[in-house]
Amino acid sequence: MKPLWWQNGVVYQIYPRSFKDTTGNGIGDLAGVIEKMDYLSDTLGIDAIWFSPINPSPMKDFGYDVADYCDVDPMFGDLATFDRLLAEAHKRGLKVLIDWVPNHSSDEHPWFLESRSSRDNPKRDWYIWRDPKPDGTPPNNWGSFFGGPAWTFDEKTGQYYMHQFVPGQPELNWRNPELKKAMLDGLRFWLDRGIDGFRMDVIGLIIKDEDLRDNPPNPDAPANLPANDLFSRLHQVYNMDQDDVHPVMREIRQVLDEYNERVAIGELWGPMDRWVKYYGTTGDELHLPFNFRLMHQPWSASAMRASVEEMEGALPPFAWPNYVLGNHDGTRLATRFGGQSQARVAAMMLLTLRGTPTVYYGEELGMENGVIPPEKIQDPQGINLGAERTRDVCRTPMQWDATEHAGFSNVEPWLPVSADYRTRNVAAMLNDPTSILTLYRRLFALRKATPALNVGSYATVPTPAADCFVYERTDGPDRYLIALNFSGEAQTLSLFGNGTCLLSTQVDRTGEVDLQALSLRPHEGVIVKL
């Protein structure tokens, strides 16, 4: 069967604030993405772009607080610019996905302004309002992901509203049929414009326990949590992944199925047994529940291998796998995994596993965590829970060239450009035959040209070599061996036969190899055609 585009393609995530500024306000915009469209389609050769939210927003959580689901924030452009972007992308065969934030809106959304205006407003029940406990405290013990309780008291109407993120992100009540209809119509708005799918923000949170029971304490919570981190002190039992989310997931999917070949990707964090249910019992929910498991593994071949095998083992036959290593909420791979060579091995792993890979902007340059002076912290998570928790580190401006502000903007950007931009930038790395950018381009091209590497089967190849992750990807007679050395020492693998090395993570060797003594340099990965 011919694979669908979201099965054999690569998704590239753009954090629009940080990609390319064309208006001179230090913040990226849609016109900037249009300007860089050839970079995406020709230089990189990715298949789909996904934008973090571009809707009108007071930006209390940088767009994840939506004030209008059917428009574009003027900071980023307008609907006409969006349509132009879509046309430019489609002209080049690129798919476009947008972020959809269904769990909460902004407190400045007109729906919430109405809802909070009085207890008997028709939209009161579009959000989650509850009376205080008799002693005046919040209705239950839930904490916000960003610190403090998940409830804010509204003086005027004498009730609390729920928000599991900042107070400016009140939670929508998906048990209300009118709200549900309004949200599903919001999906149709973008589908009618021609977008190819959605990445659905914290989708597992949209239905909560009907009785909003207290979450049980988490006995494993670290002892040194900030005092206001109520969230991490609890087990997330009643606030996410409820059984009755699944009928709603099917309704969401049915909207996409009214259109041709649109994809539903969802952000989900729970354990495997809860996560896998989001594929639906017959593949009738999400196409791709994001799989973040590799993000949480240490730099260890056995840990990565175990995670891949666990996922391969848990998937029902109809389910298509996917892998994410980095995004706008995490850390840069080179920083997390301890160096540039490790980031290269991680790239080779991500782009040769069985499943749709999502690559975060700037990873193709090996961008490292930004250094954000305390007074420049923007992210509410960093502001509320401490500088070490700020997600700003992975949101610094894209490094295009060595000119001032890295070619991102002609004024000082909203977050500082990383100090290494003079050498770590697209212009400098493009013509360097061994740069990480060249590696990514080769990996994208090889994956695209090689069915075994995109849709072929996966099998672990056991090896006694220390800290090496080795696997085979196969499509009929075409077989490829991927050997990744996670250790800082050279390793020699003893396998069978001969092969042709197509690519090394150092991009400096190809040609015949004797698999009985396949030597890998420290932190080197290779792809060998068998």
Residue in 61, 73, 196, 285 binding ligand GLC, rule: CB under 6 A = 61
Judged by beta carbon, residue 267 or residue 524, the one nearer ligand GLC is 267
329 binds ligand GLC (CB under 6 A): yes
Q: In sequence order, what are the residues at sequence separation of 6 or more whose Cβ sits closer than 8 angstroms to the Cβ of residue 218? A: 232, 233, 234, 235
Instruction: Out of 178, 258, 489, 508, pick the active-site residue.
Output: 258
241 binds ligand GLC (CB under 6 A): no
- The Cα diameter of the chain in Å comes to 76
Judged by beta carbon, residue 201 or residue 524, the one nearer ligand GLC is 201
Cα dihedral: 32, 37, 39, 42 (round 10): 180
> Which candidate, 422, 389, 430, 387, places its Cα nearest to that of 403?
422
Residue 68 and residue 176: Cα distance in Å, rounded?
A: 19
Instruction: Tell me the site size for ligand GLC, rule CB under 6 A.
Output: 9
Q: Cα–Cα distances in Å, from 121 out to 112, 117, 179, 184? A: 10, 7, 14, 22
Judged by beta carbon, residue 64 or residue 174, the one nearer ligand GLC is 64
Residue in 21, 73, 201, 229 binding ligand GLC, rule: CB under 6 A = 201
Give min distance, CB of 5 to ligand GLC, in A.
Answer: 23
C-beta separation of 276 from 315 below 8 A:
yes
148 residue type, one letter = G
Name the token pair of 313: 């083992």
The DSSP element (H or E) to which 199 belongs, if any, is strand 197-200
Judged by beta carbon, residue 51 or residue 64, the one nearer ligand GLC is 64
Give min distance, CB of 389 to ligand GLC, in A.
Answer: 12
Give min distance, CB of 64 to ligand GLC, in A.
Answer: 3
C-beta separation of 81 from 30 below 8 A:
yes
364 binds ligand GLC (CB under 6 A): no
Give min distance, CB of 521 to ligand GLC, in A.
Answer: 36
DSSP 8-state symbol, 46: -
Residue in 46, 67, 96, 202 binding ligand GLC, rule: CB under 6 A = 202
Active site residue 201: yes
Q: How many CB atoms lie within 10 A of CB 52?
A: 24
Name the token pair of 256: 């996409």
Residue in 51, 100, 160, 165 binding ligand GLC, rule: CB under 6 A = 165
Residue in 12, 51, 64, 360 binding ligand GLC, rule: CB under 6 A = 64
Judged by beta carbon, residue 165 or residue 323, the one nearer ligand GLC is 165
Give min distance, CB of 329 to ligand GLC, in A.
Answer: 5
Give min distance, CB of 61 to ligand GLC, in A.
Answer: 5
> Which candidate, 401, 288, 293, places its Cα nearest to that of 10?
288
The DSSP element (H or E) to which 468 belongs, if any, is strand 468-475
Judged by beta carbon, residue 239 or residue 341, the one nearer ligand GLC is 239
Residue 493: phi and psi, rounded to 5, are -100, 140
Give min distance, CB of 465 to ligand GLC, in A.
Answer: 37
Judged by beta carbon, residue 145 or residue 480, the one nearer ligand GLC is 145
Give the three-state DSSP class for 385.
Answer: helix
Q: In sequence order, what are the residues at sequence separation of 6 or more whose Cβ sits closer than 8 angstroms to the Cβ of residue 192? A: none
Judged by beta carbon, residue 61 or residue 524, the one nearer ligand GLC is 61
Give min distance, CB of 164 to ligand GLC, in A.
Answer: 8
C-beta separation of 249 from 260 below 8 A:
no
Instruction: Out of 196, 201, 363, 364, pick the active-site residue.
Output: 201
Active site residue 285: no
Angle between helical axes of 177-193 and 245-257 (0-180°, round to 10): 30
> Which candidate, 63, 2, 30, places its Cα nearest to that of 328?
63
Catalytic residues: 201, 258
- Applying CB under 6 A, the residues found at the interface with ligand GLC are 61, 64, 101, 165, 201-202, 267, 328-329
